[in-house]
Amino acid sequence: MTTEAMAPPSTKSQVLRSFDVTDFPAVNGLEEEWRFTPIKRLGALITATSLTGAAPGYAPGDLPAGISVTQVDAGKVDAVLTPFDRISALAYGSAAEVTLIDVAAETVSETAAVIRVVGQGSEAAAARTYVRVGNFAKVTIVLEQTGTATLADNLEVVLGDSAQLTLVTIAEWDAGSVQAQHVKFKVGKDARAQHVQVALGGDLVRQFTSVDYAGRGGDAELWGLYFADAGQHLEHRQLVDHSVPDCRSYVGYRGALQGASAHTVWVGDVLIRAAATGTETYEINRNLVLTDGARADSVPNLEIETGEVAGAGHASATGRFDDEQLFYLMARGIPEFEARKLVVRGFFAELVNKIPVEELRERLGDAIEARLAKAGA
pLDDT score, position 320: 83
pLDDT band at 9 (very low <50, low <70, confident <90, very high): low
For the chain, what is the mean pLDDT? 92
pLDDT band at 376 (very low <50, low <70, confident <90, very high): low
Following CA atoms 167, 296, 302, 156 in sequence, which dihedral angle do they give, to the nearest 10 degrees? -30
pLDDT beyond 80 at 43:
yes
| CB of 134 closer than 8 Å to CB of 106 | yes
For 282-317, the pLDDT digits (tens) are: 999 999 999 999 999 999 999 999 989 999 999 999
How would you classify the pairing of strands 138-159 and 164-171? parallel
pLDDT score, position 13: 60
**Pick the residue with more confidence: 178 or 12?**
178
CB half-sphere exposure, 229, CA atoms < 13 A: 18
The 10 Å Cβ neighbour count of residue 11 is 10
Q: Which residues pair with 282 in a beta bridge?
A: 250, 313
| CB of 337 closer than 8 Å to CB of 373 | yes
pLDDT score, position 12: 63
How would you classify the pairing of strands 178-187 and 263-272? unpaired
Instruction: Give the range among 35-44, 122-131, 138-147, 367-376 with minimum mean pLDDT.
Output: 367-376
Instruction: Give the range among 22-26, 127-131, 136-140, 204-208 with minimum mean pLDDT.
Output: 22-26
Angle 133-162-213 (CA atoms, 0-180°, nearest 5)? 80
For 85-119, the pLDDT digits (tens) are: 999 999 999 998 999 999 999 999 999 999 999 99
pLDDT beyond 70 at 7:
no
pLDDT band at 375 (very low <50, low <70, confident <90, very high): low
pLDDT score, position 6: 47
> Residue 175 burial (CB < 10 Å; 0-12/13-18/19+)?
exposed
Amino acid at 65: A
For 248-282, the pLDDT digits (tens) are: 999 999 999 999 999 999 999 999 999 999 999 99
For 182-231, the pLDDT digits (tens) are: 999 999 999 999 999 999 999 999 999 999 999 999 999 999 999 999 99
Q: Which residues pair with 196 in a beta bridge?
A: 168, 223
pLDDT beyond 50 at 247:
yes
Dihedral sign, Cα of residue 120, residue 99, residue 134, residue 218 = positive
pLDDT beyond 70 at 63:
yes
